[in-house]
A = this chain, B = another copy of it.
């Protein structure tokens, strides 16, 4: 006899459903721990690997928390946070019905500073690509993008024509991003930025600092400077019921 439903779905899915519905009905309280894998094995008559897979998937979906050596617990409700979406600037400008153009100021291979090498999590000081591009909306400069790119992942970055293809598009198609770090701050423009963006020194700019990873490897580091008076980052987002 088994407590599992008699459907066509695979066994580990039935186990997941069984556990989820019993969480829903409060069979196991929020504080006490769930049965151990071996107890599930005895109760449901399936192998431990199958129970383990069900529990692992429920854990990665955010329903459970498992502590090795301790047990399995019901996860507390999700932390309160809101998400904001950041889009490709070229696509945004075009979507607004405006003209987008970019000017490549720098595209080179450099030896990174010690600090930059550290940001790339390099053990040794290895060469990296460096690009500086200004993005225009209707011939008005709105963003200065400085990128550092890991040549291990994108070996031919310096051979591209980024006045035609946006750097962002090129990178996204080249390498899968597994993790992103963002830091947004507001800074006054220094002399160089002021010159390239045609604004006064000290004018307010939005600085978006971004690091992307592919697996354990840092793929790119970007510093995107938006002219505060001409550009803002916007998004409308529906938080979905995802884990």
Contact = CB atoms under 8 A, between A and B. Distances in A.
A235 B63 CA distance: 23
- Copies of this chain, whole number: 2
A112 interface: no
Interface stretch (A17-25, A103-111, A122-130, A131-139): A17-25
Interface stretch (A35-43, A65-73, A157-165, A173-181): A173-181
A21 B80 contact: no
A233 interface: yes
Interface in A46-74: 61, 63
A186 interface: yes
A32 interface: no
Interface in A79-137: 79-88, 91
Interface of A: 16-17, 20-21, 23-26, 61, 63, 77-88, 91, 152-155, 168-169, 172-188, 202, 204-206, 210, 214-217, 219, 226, 228, 231-240, 242-243
